[in-house]
Amino acid sequence: MSKRICVVGTGYVGLIAAVGLADFGNTVVGVDIDEAKISALNAGTVPIYEPGVEEYLRRNLASGRLSFVSDVATAVSECDVVFIAVGTPPRENGDADLRFVGIVADSVAANLDSYKVIVTKSTVPVGTNRWIRDRIALASGKLPGQDFDVVSNPEFLREGKAISDFFHPDRTVIGFESEHAKEIMFDVYRALNVTSVPFVWCSLETAELIKYASNAYLAVKITFINEMANLAETVGADINAVARTMGMDGRIGPKFLHPGPGYGGSCFPKDTQALVSIGDSHGVDMSLVRAVITANERQKKRMVVKLERLLGCARPDKPLSLEGKTIAVLGLAFKQETDDVRASPALTIVETLLTKGATISAYDSKAMENFKALFPQIVYKKDVYEAALGADALIIVTEWNEFRSLDLPRLKVAMRGDVILDTRNLIDADEAVSLGFIYEGVGRIIPRRA
């Protein structure tokens, strides 16, 4: 049986949830205080870059199953299920900021005129769902388990593949307290059950921790292969062969074993910091996760050190060692197939290069506007070759597919210098070296120049 659903928050998580739940046959109202965003969404315009979303948005708008409003009170009052999908940005101490979650909880409490299930999609610390439950109960005078229920339903979406991940998830995790809430959530996600997606029914706390544990482990895996890549460079090993062979082991698997400049995005940096903070608040030292955070930041800065060395500018007596150098930066998003620059390695790399006196010429097919809001002082170009024109060095930061098939002879003509730092190991090293480039990847064995 389809449900009337309200999704509060139309950011990345909320928008995907809204279009996906509507496509399952539910009647969905997306809520956001940003009137301009609401108007755009109702007109079928997606405010973020995410492949496939616009098609699902327009289809469900046309069907009448999906709409967007700014009036949270009416939307909450008229629905059966409320999804909380607002941001939980990190505070300075690493804690998740739950202000927006609290505001939504208060809105629910003020409009709890019939039984509702309140579902937390936002990534929140362990114990937050009970806090939401108690806050609503106190403000409304209503009884949990009778007048309302709170459910934890964390998301596991990958930016760039969110539509596929929503409709074909590895698992659906639902933390619950009452059988009535379980039945309603089963109805909400009935379409997934038909396709035999595994459902994990568990406690609120277990669901909350599953999300953090999953993201932290992936961050550990990325950081591990990056450290192995750094070692491979020193001992003369090929990290690609190492990673590929490791991945053949069924206990390890091949995913997230791709060396690079460090992880970024809206999840891994925030969630690892929050997990350390959660551990601290409970007297548990999350030493491994803490070390991963440190190593990841070091990996980003290491890319600039490599670039300095390749340019012959690594001099401890000269802090502004890149002064007068023009660096072409290819890729600004934290990963391919997104315009998201949050915690992107490019942020650290560009900031460090600017501090050292370099001039930056940048290109990214999707993320330049978002990056420009943070770094308006650098030059943005319309394509790779314009960015490379007159550059002393070129650094590839994001693994966009277009960077896998660069016209290296054309780059050679365009650039003033001959240094390429390929932090994603996308370029054919043999071709680059044969053309006279000073080429380096991350953990790769580089052929000698003739």
User: DSSP string of 300-345?
Assistant: HHHHHHHHHHHHT---TT-SSTTTT-EEEEE--SSSTT----TT-H
Work out the burial of residue 93: count CB atoms within 10 Å of its CB; fewer than 13 is exposed, 13-18 middle, 19 or more buried: exposed
Q: What is the per-residue pLDDT for 313?
A: 72
**Contact call for residues 28 and 65 (beta carbons, < 8 A):** yes
- The residue ranges of every structural domain in the chain are 4-202, 212-293, 298-440
Q: Which amino acid would we find at residue 149?
A: D
Weakest mean pLDDT among 194-198, 253-257, 260-264, 278-282 = 194-198
Residue type present at position 303: M
Can you tell me whether residue 110 is helix, strand or coil? helix
User: What is the arithmetic mean of pLDDT over 108-120?
Assistant: 96
Quick: pLDDT tens for 334-358.
Answer: 999 999 999 999 999 999 999 999 9
The CATH number that domain 298-440 falls under is 3.40.50.720
**Where residue 445 falls among pLDDT bands split at 50, 70, 90?**
confident
Calpha distance 256→71 (Å, rounded): 41
Judge contact between 367 and 332, C-beta under 8 A.
yes
Long-range contacts of 275-284 (CB under 8 A, 24+ apart): 275/212, 275/213, 275/216, 276/94, 277/93, 277/94, 277/95, 277/96, 277/125, 278/125, 278/126, 278/212
Structure confidence by residue, pLDDT tens digits, 204-230? 999 999 999 999 999 999 999 999 999
C-alpha–C-alpha distance, residues 238 and 443, integer Å = 6
Spatial CA neighbour of 444 closest among 420, 431, 425: 425
CB 436 within 8 A of CB 412: yes
The pair of structure tokens assigned to 262 is 């460090």
Taking only the tens place, the pLDDT of each residue in 305-328 is 999 999 987 555 555 578 899 999
**6's tokens:** 């309200």
Mean of all residue pLDDT scores within the chain = 95
Q: Looking at the predicted structure, is the pLDDT value of residue 368 above 60? A: yes
Distance between CA atoms of 135 and 79, rounded to whole angstroms? 20
The three-state DSSP-derived secondary structure of 141-198 is CCCECCCEEEEECCCCCCCCCHHHHHHCCCCEEEECCCHHHHHHHHHHCHHHHHCCCC
Measured from the Cβ of residue 165, the count of other Cβ atoms closer than 10 Å reads: 17
pLDDT at position 408 over 70: yes
pLDDT band per the 50, 70, 90 thresholds, residue 258: very high
Decide if 267 is catalytic. Answer: yes
The listed CATH number (3.20.20.70, 3.40.50.720, 1.20.1440.120, 3.40.50.1360) that belongs to domain 4-202: 3.40.50.720
Global confidence as pTM: 0.93
Instruction: Give helix 53-63 / helix 12-23 axis angle, nearest 10°.
Output: 50
Spacing of C-alpha 414 from chain mean position: 33
Residue 94, helix vs strand vs coil: coil
Asked if residue 448 has pLDDT above 80, the reply is: no
Domains 212-293 and 298-440 share a fold: no
What pLDDT was estimated at residue 196? 87
Annotated active-site residue in 6, 79, 202, 267: 267
- Reported as a pLDDT band with limits 50, 70 and 90, residue 2 is confident
The pLDDT of 261-268, averaged and rounded, is: 95
Residue-level pLDDT at 193: 84
- What pLDDT is stored for residue 194 in this prediction? 84
The CATH architecture assigned to 212-293 reads: Orthogonal Bundle (1.10)
Reported as a pLDDT band with limits 50, 70 and 90, residue 195 is confident
Kindly tell me if the per-residue pLDDT of 95 is higher than 90: no
Q: What percent of the chain has pLDDT over 90?
A: 92
Report strand pairing: 66-69 vs 359-363: unpaired
Separation between Cα atoms, residue 440 and residue 423, nearest integer Å: 8
**Cα–Cα distance, 340 to 51 (Å, whole number):** 13
